[in-house]
Structure 1
Amino acid sequence: MNDFPKMMWVSQNTLRFAFSEEISQESFLLVQHFNRFIRKFLQHQIIETVAGYYTITVYLKGRQHVSYEKLLEQWQHYQIETMNGSHLIGRELTVPICYDEEFALDMERVMEHTKLSYEEVVSLHSGRSYAVHLVGFLPGFPYLGELDSRLHVPRLQKPRKLVDASSVGIGGRQTGIYPIDSPGGWNIIGRTPHRLFDVKNNEPTLFQTGDSVTFYAITKQEFYNMNQERV
């Protein structure tokens, strides 16, 4: 992947930096590092930055002069100083998931598509750490990657009109959790007792970009016990 982004003006006070159009762990780490770099390099000139899969959008305090050549030179130094042997500092979250058939609405479809058993699907889904690549689509919806390639399943051809909050889905190379009741087309394979979005909290969303997330399987009784505790 190219370590040097393209720079373009979106408006008089908005810049966008774009890396190669690739969704991967390498791409995620590169974008997160560049986002931190640009916030440091332009710290007195920016209002905020928004990182995407392979882009960083920078909102400036009015029209500013930004030297692309100087920026790339500083980016090279920053990479050498911070990226070699360093890791992003994010929270490590452990999230319980109930994969019971009551919640796993599309488990049969996933098993048929992947030729895996129920136990194998659960083991593969809960057997790795995921990075929160983005939070969006719905308030607090985490896009988690990368999913084990054996679990890559197309999204539903006809999305559901209603997916219950806290439902866990997979689609393509990613997994995610619905924070609120909403329409959706991901393959639902479980549910967490955790609440992902609550406007009454100081931090209304459970996940933040850059977090590391690990799932573990719980029984239906454990789910209901945990669900009751959060009320």
Structure 2
Amino acid sequence: MQRDSLSLVQLVPNVVTILGMCAGLSAIRYTFAERFELAAGLIILAAILDGLDGLLARKLNAASSFGAELDSFADFVSFGVAPGILVYGYALDGLTAGFGWVFVLIFAVCGCLRLARFNLSRATPEGGMIRHFVGVPAPAGAMLGLLPVYLGLAGWIDAAALAIPVALYLGGVGLLMISRLPTPSLKAIRIARRHAIWVLVGASAFVGLLFLHTWVTLVVADLVYLAVLAGLTLRRSFPRKS
């Protein structure tokens, strides 16, 4: 039986989801204004809020089908549309014949397909904890897609001068999102109690570096994640013989 009223606390996860979507939309707005650092920061904020809304829904016992669908739509805006537009505005706008825009479309469509596939798998659970994702999750895909922007903002490359490689890279990240590659799920990683303190110390160091050297830290984080994906791909292509 559907209740006529809701506790305000039960709306908190949905409010966080909407805030994340607003951050993604605002990133598009600031891309048009060529305020690329702020646009990139807003997409990162959207990713943080995306992690919080699900956690809050579970902790507050406020999970719902409505919230799940809202989260999916918000993810498409923040991680499918906004990163592609930011990369286009930052590096691809100078390509002739709309070549760069084709890869933005590929990235956005792959993000949409990745979210649709995730929704279907969520609707038909097999039970137990998810050991890994199939394909790169949309938030991680957004962070990877922004790697050329991070490199440019760190002063390491001129992304606009490397527009064609950037466009191909963006399309490649889109394909990773719809691939069948198993990618790690943080929820399934178990840490021994004696090592938990080092995880906390490492997280503190990461946050500190993120504030001090934002773009360099994000570049390193992306490269580490790409290395993990490469290792998983090799492991899958060349399984150990027993």
In the superposition, the TM-score normalised over structure 1's length comes to 0.27
Which is strand-richer, 1 or 2?
Answer: 1
Which is helix-richer, 1 or 2?
Answer: 2
In the superposition, the TM-score normalised over structure 2's length comes to 0.26
Larger Rg: 1
